[in-house]
Chains A and B, each alone.
Chain A
Amino acid sequence: MPLNNTFGPTGRELRFSDKIASINWIVVGFITAVCCIGFAMLYSVAQGSLEPWAGRQMIRFGIGIVIMFVVALIDIRAWISLAYPAYAATLLLLGAVEFFGRAGKGAERWIEIGPLQLQPSELMKIALILALSRYLHGLNLEDVSKPLRLIPALLLIMVPAGLVLMQPNLGTATILVVGGCGMLFLSGLSWKIIVPVVALGIAAVPVGWNFLHDYQRERVLTFLDPDRDPLGAGYNILQSKIALGSGGIAGKGYLQGTQSRLNFLPEKQTDFIFTVLGEEFGLLGVLTLMGLYLAILVQGTLIALEARSHFGRLVAMGVCLNFLLYILINTSMSMGLIPVVGIPLPLVSYGGTALITVLFGFGLLLSVQIHSGVDIPRSAANIW
């Protein structure tokens, strides 16, 4: 599909320069600001050095931002037609990980394609948003709650989530399921279905317990009582709380965080980077970051509400939901509100795939915003 064969809100064809001009630079600015906070924190946890994290993260950000703009400029109608093939390809990769994946940190999450290390589970977050949006784009409001229409949507969510859970990667599986169900909710799923399912879900917790891995159960138990084994599994939670608490209102100062500098914090460059921020910049630093996140989410929500196509709205909210879940899970884990789950703080934590995936997602969000005036016929959701 040719890129310039699209129509803006005025009905005329969108030129390349129009697209550039209509980009929501506010969102781009906020995203860049959050990433800069990330660089600063990675510099700090390396005891004031670009090596080994901050420097590489900057390069990845450079690559990621280019990908974001490319994705943003691609026509929204191209994305709807790519949704299913992309989903299918990612699902295949995810399956391949089960058999050829390389173990890292006890989880089979990577697959190597040449020099590239891929985490298909990360790609699946994007693929699921696209595929689910396309599927829901084709449904009427009342159809969403019809079992025969609902089941394919649920399969779209549950099949990859199941594969991810087998890796095992509880965090990403949670994001896939909650994010996917969130999109069903936004699509107007009937309360008559939501209420019983949620109730059933709560009742099923004891059953689900049996399906958890030992280390996952350990995390939950430890979370419920961090003093159970303060030097073992409860160590991370306790040390994170100590770091945040001792940061106080204004923090200990940049590069002055004793907890992180003296290695009391585990995984400080990835899962616990929020804690380093809280220790060194205190409540003010934490609220600043949370404020920036909220600003991005507000902008994303506005983009969703302004989009003309249902596909665009769902994609935009899907991206926002994903982003939100990252933030909520990571921060509440750092604060000791939920068990330790290996979920990074988006745009801040060290990690290539996650950063690029999130920026890819924002690319989609911007694409929805640039092409907000474009109508997409329901037939675009059909496979044939």
Chain B
Amino acid sequence: MMDGRDSVRHRAFTRRTLLLSGGVVGIYTVLAGRMFQLQVLQQDQFTMLAEDNRVNVQLIAPPRGRVYDRFGVELANTSQNYRVLIIPEQTKDPEATLRELAQLVPLPEARIQRVLREVRHSKPFKPVLVTEGLDWDQFSKVNINAPDLAGIEPDVGELRNYPFGPWLSHVLGYVAGPTDEDIDEDPELLSLPGFRVGRSGVEKAADVELRGKPGAAQVEVNAYGRVIRELSRREGEPGQDVVMTLDMEIQKLTEEHLRGQSGSAVMMDVNNGEVISIVSAPGFDPNPFTTTVTPQLWKELNQDPLKPLLNKAITGVYPPGSTFKPIVALAALESGAMKPSNRVTCTGAVALGNHVFHCWKRGGHGSMDMHAAIKNSCDIYFYECARRAGIDAIEAMAKRFGLGQVYGLEIPGEKSGLVPGQDWKTRRGLGKWTTGETYNVGIGQGALLLTPLQLCVMCARLANGGKTVTPHVIKSFGDKPRELPPILNLNLDPAHVAIVHDGMDAVVNEGGTAARSRINIDGFEMAGKSGTAQIRRITDELRGKSPDQIPWEYRDHALFIAFAPVAKPKYAVAVVVEHGGGGSKVAAPIAKDMMILALQRDPAGKPSFVPGTRTAGTAAVSG
């Protein structure tokens, strides 16, 4: 039925169809070639890219080491910190995401703005902390809604806890987010969201040990960065636990005694320099510092007249007053300028040139030998003692006892105080040293300035007969004891030491200035030396008035140093109560109570805690 015209167009159709088929074969060849290129020639390259896509390396923050007292009481630990992160590259509009999140958890506007600023400045794949410290309910809500909140990642981090809060604020310090400079030091680890570094106290001094080393996990992630599974893991090293030399019970007692006052107290083991207790009052609660300090709290702490943020035990410098007299006595004895039996008559005042120097006792003590002078803290005797010894001998003796220096205590911020001398005066361009100044130094006044820690070190070196123990608060990192500087001998004449010890014994036990703080327990007897540091020139108007009649800020500082037991000293203590009035009245009773508790508990005589053994048995934890 096919007509001619039909067969013409059929032939044309067939021709064109075959032509087209040829074209198709050509295109097919191109496609096959392309597949060969992708899947055979470039296979390695693309396999690598696929692996890059798939695998992410994530740092695992090491758990921070805990801090224990010498018997294993936890002083700083970590708890779970429920928090929320945002990964910038996973959300198109971080602001909208945060606003949605704000309907689930409290998120103040200021914080949203801060997070957004950080999001803009950090790398897109780097998680940024949005909020933390959530309770379980809030955290659950975020978890349930997380799939709808692009880029929002609920996460469990660490939160540092200080169970004893203000009792240890100045010792432990606190941790906080790293500064830019910190981050430069270890960018990978420190820029982990919510990572904390030690900001002050032991947390800062032992930060490297406490921090540990980060682990890493290779994880498979999907295109949105969500972790699908873990492929491999290299465990990091958890931070080392730190065992302190402190005995928390004594620390607590000390804090309670100083509460409401501005002052500090330090107790040391005289034989090895371990600090048993170190308190600066008032303290503050370090816990808010680990997350956010509200401006209000910050203002309160800064405006408190008792200065809770200052660690007075190591940064407060005070004239030591009479507590310095044992050093003057030793300087005079060693130089031969004074024999123990040499007597000086105290009439209540002595003239030097046209200046009159007073004794604290207006009527005078009468004739004094060295024992009596220490016992009664006679100023006239020590003016004479200092004059005969000379400032050079006193300065040298003070420095041998560790005054005017820092010890490298594991609590940053120590002040070195000042031990004045001829060199110091000329160097400062203050002219020539005068005998009057020697007089003042002789009774612990003048330019002489010491910290309570230095007072305690001085007292400990007196108590142990002149061995240069160095104060420290860290006993061990993990189970490795801390390395200490060697203990040298000051080569004091034991007879000289005995005279000073006897004098200090008499201060407390033979009706001396601190007789009211005598310890009536056999074998616990305490020797001490009180001090009252003038913080102003005594005017005639104020002279003789009792502390209650003077405004608080003009009152004298009360000081007391002590060691016990007298026969075989174990502990030394130094107490400074700012504007407390008389040393024997205010400071000595605190020292007494601390000493009794220390002697009862006897931390130095008991084995100390070794971390990691706590679960194995409680034998190490006693008392």
Contact = CB atoms under 8 A, between A and B. Distances in A.
A315 to B, nearest CB: 12
Interface residues on B, range: 35 or more
Contact of A231 (B12, B89, B220): B89
A262 B221 contact: yes
B117 interface: no
A286 B16 contact: no
Contacts of A231: 89
Given A231-B89, A262-B221, A324-B24, A186 B13 contact: yes
A245 B17 contact: no
Given A188-B9, A258-B53, A310-B13, A287 B89 contact: no
Contacts of A248: 39-40, 43, 47
Contact of A263 (B24, B28, B40, B224): B224
A335 B24 CA distance: 17
A273 interface: no
A23 interface: no
A332 B30 CA distance: 10
Interface in A321-354: 324, 328, 331-332, 335, 337
Interface centre among B24, B89, B222 (most CB of A within 10 A): B24
A283 B43 CA distance: 11
Contact of B20 (A186, A246, A264): A186
Given A140-B9, A248-B40, A290 B53 contact: no
Interface stretch (A65-73, A75-83, A301-309, A363-371): A301-309
B228 A262 contact: yes
Contacts of A304: 17
B49 A283 contact: no
A294 interface: yes
B53 A262 contact: yes
A245 B16 CA distance: 36
Given A141-B12, A317-B17, A335 B222 contact: no
Nearest to A265: B223
A297 B39 CA distance: 25
A329 to B, nearest CB: 11
Contact of B222 (A141, A262, A287): A262
Nearest to A335: B34
Interface stretch (A27-35, A85-93, A195-203, A236-244): A236-244
Interface in B8-53: 8-10, 12-14, 16-17, 20-21, 24, 27-28, 30-32, 34-36, 38-40, 42-43, 45-47, 49-51, 53
A259 B50 contact: yes
A187 B36 contact: no
A297 B28 CA distance: 12
A100 interface: no
Nearest to A259: B50
B35 A244 contact: yes
Contact of A141 (B9, B27, B28, B54): B9
A241 B53 CA distance: 13
Contacts of B2: 308, 375
Contact of B39 (A249, A262, A301): A249
A120 interface: no
Contacts of B36: 283
Contacts of A361: none
B13 A188 contact: yes
Given A186-B13, A264-B53, A290-B32, A245 B24 contact: no
A242 B5 CA distance: 54
Interface in B28-84: 28, 30-32, 34-36, 38-40, 42-43, 45-47, 49-51, 53-54
Given A185-B20, A263-B222, A310 B6 contact: yes
Contacts of A331: 31
B110 interface: no
A38 interface: no
A337 B228 contact: no
A245 B39 contact: yes
Contact of A242 (B49, B89, B222): B49
Contacts of B351: none
B17 A301 contact: yes
B1 interface: yes
Given A186-B16, A248-B40, A317-B17, A335 B50 contact: no
Contact of B46 (A185, A246, A283): A246
Contacts of B5: 140-141
A282 B53 CA distance: 19
A187 B14 contact: no
A185 B30 CA distance: 22
Interface in A279-313: 282-283, 286-287, 290, 294, 297, 301, 304-305, 308, 310, 313
A79 B10 CA distance: 20
B14 A305 contact: yes
Interface centre among B17, B36, B54, B221 (most CB of A within 10 A): B17
Contacts of A258: 50, 53-54, 220
Given A188-B13, A294-B28, A301 B47 contact: no
Contact of B17 (A186, A278, A290, A375): A186
Contacts of B31: 290, 328, 331-332, 335, 337
B16 A287 contact: no
Contact of A187 (B6, B13, B30, B32): B13
Nearest to A279: B50
A168 interface: no
B9 A310 contact: yes
Contacts of B53: 239, 242, 258-259, 262, 264
Contacts of B32: 287, 290
Given A245-B46, A249-B40, A310-B9, A264 B89 contact: no
A182 interface: yes
B20 A245 contact: no
A294 B31 CA distance: 13
B44 to A, nearest CB: 9
Contacts of A247: 39, 43
A182 B19 CA distance: 12
B240 to A, nearest CB: 39
Nearest to A182: B20
B147 to A, nearest CB: 13
Contacts of B34: 332, 335, 337
Interface string B559-603: 000000000000000000000000000000000000000000000
Contacts of A182: 20
B50 A278 contact: no
Given A140-B9, A246-B46, A287-B35, A262 B17 contact: no
Interface in A188-218: 188
Interface in B190-226: 220-224
B54 A241 contact: no
B223 to A, nearest CB: 4
Contacts of A375: 1-2
A286 B17 contact: no
A190 to B, nearest CB: 10
Contacts of A245: 38-39, 42-43, 45-47, 49-50
Nearest to B42: A245
Contacts of B35: 244, 278, 283, 286-287, 335
Nearest to B39: A283
B510 to A, nearest CB: 85
Interface of A: 140-141, 182, 185-188, 231, 239, 241-249, 258-259, 262-264, 278, 282-283, 286-287, 290, 294, 297, 301, 304-305, 308, 310, 313-314, 317, 324, 328, 331-332, 335, 337, 375
Given A141-B9, A332-B34, 12 more contacts: A140-B5, A141-B5, A141-B8, A188-B13, A231-B89, A245-B47, A262-B222, A262-B223, A283-B36, A310-B10, A317-B17, A335-B38
10 contacts: A187-B16, A245-B49, A246-B43, A246-B47, A262-B54, A262-B220, A264-B53, A286-B39, A317-B17, A337-B31
Top 3 nearest A-B pairs (CB, nearest first) are A245-B46, A246-B50, A188-B12
